[in-house]
Chains A and B, each alone.
Chain A
């Protein structure tokens, strides 16, 4: 069955594969692999590593190549079909790269179990960031409210969705097939674009690490939520008027972010930021989490976006990209749950021009 599926994917394309799998899941086949919460988490972590590996070209491109199984394929209209570890590494080495380069913002990850693994999809938008330092008015140092709306980046023409086939190897979940499909308008009644939802299989390791010093599924979920809370706390205080305490509440009492250390300074830092009960500005994605010395570390992409408010939207005014980069974090498990112990923002930069 595995070879049959692969042959179909290679020979006819993923569309046919999806149809085959649709029939399998549609028939209620008992052979669909039941995925645990940790399976979903590890598949999500695989995808979250993708952007870092591709945008930085780290380890000479082999961090990217090693996200694929030995027979794994990346497929796109612009580059065609790329297979083989060295070929995939070469793909990740090309173009703008470097440890601070961020470009691929991936969201909306859906996963469906199959007979021998899983399939999945996500949305992609590529965002390019300028190396412009924010400027205040005249000789005054800038305050953050004055800077809202300054344009320091733009959306690329590349955007659409990925269609994936995942396989569980001895090293963990890997891409067996990944295809980028550009966004396109218009119906196609033969395709649905949806994947079926399945119940997640409970597992005894959901709340306890499977290995000493590791993270349980619930640890990952809580750390994901901690970082997903960042924008909500900082921009709108979870829909309240004041963001200072909610923002500082994301951190341990002795935490450091940038030049601010401790609860009082972090709350003050939050309060100086533009905010309102329905303000949204900080979009974080591609969150990579790893166990580290009994605690955890992580990194994720940031794009700060100034959205058109309803009256501006009515006039067709687009939103602007204010800031981009990535955060690197250390997380600590406290009596109240996971908190950020240290956090650093690295603004987006390209260390070499595209040649």
Chain B
């Protein structure tokens, strides 16, 4: 019970910190308790479906890149790329010689979505794979975490912003005596 109280107190502190960090779009702190906002079951499913379509849009280059651009709001941002034309160009030129209807590279999982007062935020893990097209083994090219903001438009949920943070391990404290894991 003491642990539970401590955990609740911490959660409140974290929630306060998140509220403070909310002005910084790149700093997603998707904890259990983001204050404000609610999402219906339909909202969660529609956002999940939006996120899952991202990979197909970028890998297939469908509709000359506009299928990708149209997953974003008109002023939507991926990294430093903003706006429909720039996003479509990005989708067309990513893996330019390789993309197509049967091309699979962007594998996403660990999809988390949280309501905010303005819509929703979420994150996923990316594993970018070079999938075998013959005898050559498949390989893991890179990966990281996407941090997103979503808004509900007249056409449905869309990415307002999306940022990829490449995977980086932290540095263990120099004095740390790390115990062996039981796993």
Interface, chain A (partner B; CB < 8 A) = 36-38, 40-41, 105, 107-111, 121, 123-125, 136, 141-145, 148, 154-161, 181-188, 191-195, 197, 199-203, 206-207, 216-218, 221, 224-225, 228-232, 236, 238-241, 245-246, 248-249, 253, 258-260, 262-264, 269, 272-285, 305, 307-310, 313, 318-321, 336-337, 345
Contacts and interface: CB of A to CB of B under 8 A. Distances in A.
A37 B143 contact: no
B42 A145 contact: no
Given A238-B31, A305-B140, A143 B112 contact: no
B133 to A, nearest CB: 6
A145 B172 contact: yes
Contacts, number: 293
Given A187-B61, A248-B7, A194 B138 contact: no
A160 to B, nearest CB: 6
26 contacts: A108-B108, A110-B56, A141-B180, A158-B132, A159-B104, A182-B102, A191-B101, A192-B63, A193-B60, A195-B56, A200-B42, A203-B41, A207-B41, A228-B111, A230-B110, A239-B30, A276-B168, A279-B170, A284-B109, A307-B143, A307-B144, A309-B168, A309-B169, A310-B166, A319-B140, A320-B140
A13 to B, nearest CB: 13
Nearest to B181: A144
A108 B104 CA distance: 10
List of 5 A-B pairs having minimum Cβ-Cβ separation, nearest first: A276-B170, A319-B140, A193-B60, A37-B41, A263-B3
A143 B170 contact: no
A272 B100 contact: no
A309 B166 contact: yes
Interface residues of B, number: 89
B138 A278 contact: no
Contact of B40 (A192, A206, A231, A272): A206
Contact of B42 (A105, A125, A187, A206): A206
B182 to A, nearest CB: 4
Nearest to B60: A193
Nearest to B166: A310
B143 A280 contact: yes
Nearest to B147: A239
B109 A283 contact: yes
A202 B154 CA distance: 17
